[in-house]
Amino acid sequence: NAGVMQNPRHLVRRRGQEARLRCSPMKGHSHVYWYRQLPEEGLKFMVYLQKENIIDESGMPKERFSAEFPKEGPSILRIQQVVRGDSAAYFCASSPSGLETQYFGPGTRLLVL
């Protein structure tokens, strides 16, 4: 049973470019969460999605960041016009329902030059 999959594992972007991070949840899981881990800081919640719905985006920066979880395909976290401060590890987690244990993927490490 494959775990949570994220790609790419490493992503390098120049300031002003767009970054697209993908997350495929574990088989049978329909709830997806995105967290960000800034250098020397703890994991911070960004957004919680179910298929075709954003349930809670209280942790998302107001501008440049968006997330989706379409009916078919992986969840996407999109960062437009990246800045150096966006450099971080972005983790996706999934759970079978909203109140069960969240299992994490390996993360995408974004570096903005």
Partner 1 sequence: EDQVTQSPEALRLQEGESSSLNCSYTVSGLRGLFWYRQDPGKGPEFLFTLYSAGEEKEKERLKATLTKKESFLHITAPKPEDSATYLCAVQRGNAGNMLTFGGGTRLMVKP
Q: Residue 7, Cα to own-chain centre: how many angstroms? A: 10
Using rule CB under 8 A, residue 69 touches partner 1: no
Count of residues engaged in binding partner 1, rule: CB under 8 A: 27
- Residue 56 tokens read as 């809670």
Q: State the nearest-atom distance from the C-beta of 81 to partner 1, in Å.
A: 26
Using rule CB under 8 A, residue 61 touches partner 1: no
Q: How far is CA 35 from CA 1, 112, in A?
A: 23, 18
**25 vs 105 by CB, closer to partner 1:** 105
**Window 22-51: contact mask with partner 1 (x via CB under 8 A):** ---------x-x-x-----xxxxx--x---
E strand residue ranges, the chain: 5-7, 10-13, 19-24, 31-37, 43-50, 53-56, 65-68, 75-79, 88-95, 103-104, 108-112
Positive or negative CA dihedral for 95, 104, 86, 15?
negative
**19 vs 108 by CB, closer to partner 1:** 108
- Which residues form the interface with partner 1 (CB under 8 A)? 4, 6, 31, 33, 35, 41-45, 48, 55-56, 58-59, 91, 93, 95, 98-99, 101-107
